[in-house]
Amino acid sequence: MKLKKLPQEYEKAIPVLNKLEQAGYEAYFVGGSVRDILLNQEIHDVDIATSAFPEEIKKLFPKTIDIGIEHGTVLVLVDEEQYEITTFRTESTYQDYRRPDHVEFVRSLEEDLKRRDFTINAFALKEDGQIIDLFDGLADLENHILRAVGDPQERFHEDALRMMRGIRFVSQLGFKLEQETAEAIEMNHSLLGKISVERINVEFIKMLLGKERSAGLKTFVETKCYIYCPGLRDYGEALLRFSDLSNKPLKSEAQAWALLIDQLALQESQIRVFLKEWKCSNQMIKEVQLIVHGLNLRKKQQLSALDLYQLGKEASLKVEELMVYFGEVPQLREVSEKYDQLCIKSMRELAIDGKLLLAESSKPPGKWMSDALQFAEQAVIEGKVANKANELFFFLKQNNVL
C-alpha cells in the first residue's frame, strides 16, 4: 500500500530521513502515528527508526540529546522541531516483565518490528508513502482486529503492560481482541502485579476516556485484568454495571474517576485512599472529591445556589455533564447562568471581613468571627440579605450572631 500524501508533520521530517539514507542507512517512520494516519486520525508524535547506531546518528546531526541512548534512542533537534530516532534493535529475556535484560542494536527492520506489541502498531512508512506491513496489520486494521505480533504469550511476558494497552485500544479504537491474543491476556493477567501502578494508571484512564468505553470495560473484566488493579479486585460486577451506562465519551480524567467511584458506590471518605492507591496527584484527588460530592447532591435534586457557590463554576458544569449517564439531559446553560447570577463568587467579595466585625462588636477575637462570616456568606448567596455592610451587621445582630 502506498499513501498518496503524507501529513504535514511527516513532510517536515523527510529531510531527517533523507540525511540518514544519504549516509547509507535505512530510515522509516514507525509507531502509533503511522496507524493513526491510516485511520485518518490526528497524529501527535513523529517517531523514526533507523539502521544507524546511536553514535552514527549523533555524527550526522549537530544537535542531539541522549534521552534513552542505552535503548538506542537519540533526540534530534532540527530547526524548531525535535524527533526521536531509535536504532533497530532486538531484545533479550525480560526478568521483570517490564524491561529487557539486554538490548542489541541490529541493521534489520524486520528484526526491529518483530518486537512491537500489536500488528496495527508494527508498520513502517517510507518517505515516498510506501507502507511496509510484515505482519498483516493492514488486514487487521481493516477488520478492526487487535492482534499481537507473533506469539502473544511472548509479547506479554516481555512487557505485561501491553495487556492494558490492548484493552485501551479496544476502548479508543473500537477494535476487538483476536481470540488467541485475548486468551493470552486472560492467562497472564496476574503479570500486571509486576507493573508499576503509575504505568497502569495511564492506560486505565485512556481506556475510560475512549469512545468505546463499554467494550473496553467489558474486556477489562473478561480478561480478569481488573483483579490486579488497585482497589478493584472485588468490583467486577460494578465495573460491568459501569459498562452498561451511556457510551458517550467522558471529557476529563477527573470526571472519569468520579463516575467510576460513583459506580463502585464508594463513600466520599474512601475517595482519597482509593485514588492514592492509584498514585493520583493531590490536585486530582481534590478535584475528584469535589465532583463526587457535587454528583451526590445533583443526583437527588438540582444544585442550589449554595451548592454552585461551594463547588465553583467549573466543577458544577462537570457534575452537570455527568447527568447524561443517569438518564438526564445536562442543563449546562441553566447551571452556567445560575452561577453567573450569584451575588458573590467567593468570601473575598463579602462586604464585611474579620476586621470590620471586630470594629462592630465588643467581643474579643475568636471562632465566633469565622462562624459569623460563614453565616453572612450563606445568607447573601441564598438572597436573604443584600451584600452591604450595614445590612449584614443588622442581619447578624437580628440572628444573635453578632
Segment 261-292, tens digit of pLDDT: 999 999 999 999 999 999 999 999 999 999 99
What is the average pLDDT value for the chain, to the nearest integer? Answer: 94
Architecture of domain 1-142: 2-Layer Sandwich (3.30)
Q: Which fold has domain 348-399?
A: Serum Albumin; Chain A, Domain 1 (1.10.246)
Domain spans in the chain, listed from the N-terminal domain onward: 1-142, 144-247, 250-342, 348-399
pLDDT at 388 over 70: yes
What CA–CA distance (Å, rounded) separates 44 from 119?
20
In sign, the C-alpha dihedral spanning 137, 143, 148, 153 is: negative
Assess whether the region 250-342 and the region 348-399 belong to the same CATH fold: no
Q: Which residues contact 279 (CB under 8 A, 6 or more apart)?
A: 197, 198, 201
pLDDT at 63 over 70: yes
Binding-site annotation, residues for CTP: 32, 35, 116, 159, 162, 165, 168
The DSSP string of 360-399 is H--SPSSHHHHHHHHHHHHHHHTTSS-S-HHHHHHHHHHT
CATH number for region 250-342: 1.20.58.560
Quote the pLDDT of residue 70.
83
- What is the average per-residue pLDDT within 142-152? 97
Binding-site annotation, residues: 32, 35, 45, 47, 116, 159, 162, 165, 168
Tell me if the pTM is above 0.85: yes
Query: Burial, 84: exposed, middle or buried (Cβ in 10 Å; 0-12, 13-18, 19+)?
Result: middle
Architecture of domain 144-247: Orthogonal Bundle (1.10)
Angle between helices 179-188 and 213-222 (to 10 degrees): 60
pLDDT at 97 over 60: no
Binding-site annotation, residues for Mg(2+): 45, 47
Q: What percent of the chain has pLDDT over 90?
A: 90
Quote the pLDDT of residue 94.
53
Quote the pLDDT of residue 369.
95
Q: What is the DSSP letter of 269?
A: G
Quote the pLDDT of residue 102.
64
Quote the pLDDT of residue 100.
55
219-265 pLDDT tens trace: 999 999 999 999 999 999 999 999 999 999 999 999 999 999 999 99
Binding-site annotation, residues for ATP: 32, 35, 116, 159, 162, 165, 168
